[in-house]
Amino acid sequence: MVALPLPTLPGEISILQSLTLDLRWTWSHEGDALWSCVNEDLWERTHNPWVVLQSTPAERFKALARDKKFLDELASFVAVRERYLKTPGWFRSSEQASQLGGVAYFSMEFGLGAALPLYAGGLGILAGDFLKAASDLDVPIVGIGLLYQEGYFRQVLDASGGQQEFYPFNEPAAMPIEPVILPEGGWLRIPLEMPGRVVLLRVWQANVGRVKLYLLDSNDALNGPPDRGITAKLYGGGTETRLMQEIVLGIGGWRVVKALHPEIEVCHINEGHAAFAIIERARQQALKENIDFWDGLWATRAGNVFTTHTPVAAGFDRFPADLLRKYLPYVEGSIAGDSLTLADILALGRINPDDEEEQFNMAYLALRGSATCVGVSRLHGEFSRRIFQPLFPRWPTCEVPVGHITNGVHMPTWDSAEADRIWTEACGKERWRSDPGTEVENIAQVPDEELWAMRNKNRAHLVHLTRRHLATQLRERGRDAEAVHTADTALDPNILMIGFSRRFTEYKRTDILLRDLDRLGRLLLNENRPAQIVMSGKAHPADSVGKEMIRSWINVARQPKFRQRVVFLEDYDIDLAQHLVQGVDVWINTPRRPWEACGTSGMKILVNGGLNCSILDGWWDEAYRPDVGWAIGDARGGSVEDVDARDAESLYETLETRVIPEFYDCDVAGVPRAWLQRIRNSMSILTPAFAGSRMMKDYIEQAYLPRAQAVAERLKDKNAKAREMNKWSRDLHAGWSSLHIGRPTITRNEATWNVVVPVHLGEVAPSSVRVELFADARDELVPEIVLLHREHEIPGSINGFVYAGAVSTSRSIDDYTARIVPDHPDVVLPNELPLIAWQR
């Protein structure tokens, strides 16, 4: 009905049709070979098997059906695929498998492959890698996203390096997706309330190996023209369109989960965009059990996980209150006892509920509605605790409940065929699919000669590809044959290849190497130890600074002396990224600290024997050690000008005095031993630590299993526990202002301070609180929390007690302050109730 008919394939090869719908070929080198064999030119151009089948002439299929070699390859590919899909993977075979019914992973973008262009950058690529890792490890996850009629823009550079943006139409019939058909027949359509109308959302399905990704779109003939465009463009349109998209993703998405996967108990929100799922989930729970909205939220919040990706508060998605009033009025009064008002919803997204000027912040809703919240690297976790501090008034920053799970990348997506071969020989085929990290030590045993041969092949391949890409670029820009010919001599397979690719934007400082062009010239054109740079990246259409950075690099690349040493490849996408990360020797990343929440491109080179030379920000801050790569800059801070100047100097100097000399320091056999030892360290130590399988395992252990267990508890007996918690929290809230901490008495006894504190609990039950001493981090000292014990009632008082405890005299008693915090065995604190009272 939706798809254009595919050509009728001869019986021997008819299986190709079902293979097109499995995105597993995006990370299978065998898949590459197979599709390339069907139609090399089309495969190279589109990397979309669906299009390859649609556009290959029938004679070619007839020939393939008689081609013994092809049939053998096909049979073996099919057998491998069957085995992959049928053999239970690591998680499903583990003891914990029965404790996790399922996870719905919501994301505004998914970057799985060139054939499904539903991503703009890092967030989408991460989400794609996440689903692939879930498939490999056999974790019960489904993805929830949007199907855009136009993905993110495609980049073309004009003759002067100006960026032009094109938005090709995503033809659903040419994408590896299928409509979700209901058991009783008919396409699954999700109704969604919008002002004065109901919009229907079509549901599509993409198969990522074992994992399903559901995609919603509003481009249904049954919708009015403006509504058909809601899902037209990724990050396109104004604030109102963005809000509608986020309502479609969060609310529509949760309805898909309810319709297709009732077993799912964990809702994972990848960045704040999908946070409305929290409200819809709680609302549906309340409707189902006929309880009030807040009981429903207390029940379901235990099953929600939020990953924040934003490094600065200004990066959060926000909406004016009036827009929410326009789009969400139907939730009001929809639930028992009129327990949900728009004012309540607005309060969930504000610091100050009553501030009419304050915009509604999606990240605040996400954090308040999730029992587990993590940032995407250790450093980002730390900065996120500062960013979210205002939601936890008077709580110490170190206790703001945002942890971190550092991102990882799906290694099989990013390894070269050559790297795959070496890893397979050393560590086996199952290396990223078994208990993460257990099968990869052997990579350290691979001999220098073999590693060096791989590096040389990978580099040569990138040079070859760059020349081809560059020639096409020049031809399409209308340059004459002679100019196009220069592409044949661009780069050199035998010299050090430096690379980077990323969004061109101010904080990434992509132009940092251009601060001193003479120095760059000496570095690249050195006669004995030359170097070359290949790069790629887009600037946001509205980012003039980013566009200017692209122009500067193009101007350098066009100078005759740099022509063979500097290449800018236009239209950065997942395909290009794969080639770059496979070929470069050294990857550079130069964000302004701490703006890089994590950064993942540097992780993609690890498996291929590339080395990182980057600012200590994001993942590199925790990954770096002197024997695996190079660190640029320092954490001293200062004015932007000072930091930029210091970092630039540090980068030049590191390249000149350490990176380049080591690369060319070869023994008589022509092998750079020290360089290879560094590669070996980087491959064996960092690759497993920053693999998607490690990330997935962390999410399972630190988020999914605890959340699944907690939400199951709260949903039992008509949500009895959740309702009890809700009441408990309300009582505590109401009584909190009646608490009061008296003056402590301190005595010294040998090596301890004995502390005795009178506490008046007012309206609050003693069992609902803990009294503690708190000392914050200072100099070398870490934060400390010491529980005080309730000793006895204060004579003559009502609900007044003496609490006592002891701390070591190794720390000044002035560091400690007494405080009261809520205490409940099952409530996640302080996430779910951020009350605190301090000794005055």
Q: Is 574 in the site for ligand PLP (CB under 6 A)?
A: yes
Q: Which stretch binds ligand PLP (CB under 6 A): 303-311, 456-464, 593-601, 767-775?
A: 593-601
Binds ligand PLP (CB under 6 A): choice among 600, 684, 729, 831: 600
Least spacing, CB of residue 398 vs ligand PLP, in Å: 27
Q: Which stretch binds ligand PLP (CB under 6 A): 597-605, 627-635, 742-750, 796-804?
A: 597-605
Q: Which is nearer to ligand PLP, 508 or 680 (CB)?
A: 508
Q: Give 214's strand partners.
A: 144, 205
Q: 99 phi and psi, to 5 degrees?
A: -90, 0
Q: Is 621 in the site for ligand PLP (CB under 6 A)?
A: no
What is the contact mask toward ligand PLP in residues 250 to 269, using x (rule: CB under 6 A)? --------------------
Least spacing, CB of residue 309 vs ligand PLP, in Å: 10
Least spacing, CB of residue 652 vs ligand PLP, in Å: 22
State which of positions 315-354 bind ligand PLP (CB under 6 A).
none
Least spacing, CB of residue 599 vs ligand PLP, in Å: 4
State which of positions 118-137 bind ligand PLP (CB under 6 A).
121-122, 125
Q: Which stretch binds ligand PLP (CB under 6 A): 242-250, 328-336, 345-353, 568-576?
A: 568-576
Angstrom distance (rounded) from CA 517 to CA 553: 11
State which of positions 718-747 bind ligand PLP (CB under 6 A).
none
CB 609 within 8 A of CB 679: yes
Angstrom distance (rounded) from CA 313 to CA 52: 45
Angstrom distance (rounded) from CA 91 to CA 57: 43
Q: How many CA atoms lie within 13 A of 826 on its CB side?
A: 22
Is residue 68 packed enough to be buried (19+ CB in 10 Å), middle (13-18) or exposed (0-12)? Answer: exposed
Q: Is 572 in the site for ligand PLP (CB under 6 A)?
A: yes
Binds ligand PLP (CB under 6 A): choice among 300, 473, 601, 687: 601
Q: Which is nearer to ligand PLP, 89 or 124 (CB)?
A: 124
Q: How many CB atoms sit inside 10 A of residue 86's CB?
A: 8
Least spacing, CB of residue 701 vs ligand PLP, in Å: 24
Least spacing, CB of residue 5 vs ligand PLP, in Å: 32
Angstrom distance (rounded) from CA 296 to CA 335: 10
SS3 281: helix
Contacts with 198 (C-beta within 8 Å, 6 or more apart), sequence order? 191, 192
DSSP code per residue over 502-565: ----GGGTTTGGGS-HHHHHHHHH-SSS-EEEEEE----TT-HHHHHHHHHHHHHHHSGGGTTT
323-335 burial code (b ≥16 CB/10 A, e <16): bbeebbeebeeeb
Is residue 55 packed enough to be buried (19+ CB in 10 Å), middle (13-18) or exposed (0-12)? Answer: middle
Q: Which is nearer to ligand PLP, 121 or 412 (CB)?
A: 121
Beta strand ranges found along 181-314 (DSSP E): 189-194, 197-208, 211-217, 266-270, 304-307
Among 266, 275, 274, CA closest to 304:
266
Q: Which stretch binds ligand PLP (CB under 6 A): 214-222, 520-528, 594-602, 635-643?
A: 594-602
Q: Which stretch binds ligand PLP (CB under 6 A): 226-234, 268-276, 573-581, 723-731?
A: 573-581
Among 763, 723, 721, CA closest to 740:
763
Contacts with 807 (C-beta within 8 Å, 6 or more apart), sequence order? 752, 753, 755, 773, 775, 784, 786, 813, 816
Q: Which stretch binds ligand PLP (CB under 6 A): 336-344, 477-485, 567-575, 672-680?
A: 567-575
Q: Which stretch binds ligand PLP (CB under 6 A): 117-125, 173-181, 326-334, 790-798?
A: 117-125
Q: Is 217 in the site for ligand PLP (CB under 6 A)?
A: no
User: What are the tokens at 411?
Assistant: 């290694």
Least spacing, CB of residue 535 vs ligand PLP, in Å: 13
State which of positions 492-551 bind ligand PLP (CB under 6 A).
502
Least spacing, CB of residue 534 vs ligand PLP, in Å: 15
Q: Is 577 in the site for ligand PLP (CB under 6 A)?
A: yes
State which of positions 22-41 bind ligand PLP (CB under 6 A).
none
Expressed in angstroms, the distance from the first to the final Cα of the chain is 71
Residues that bind ligand PLP (CB under 6 A): 121-122, 125, 502, 572-574, 577, 599-601
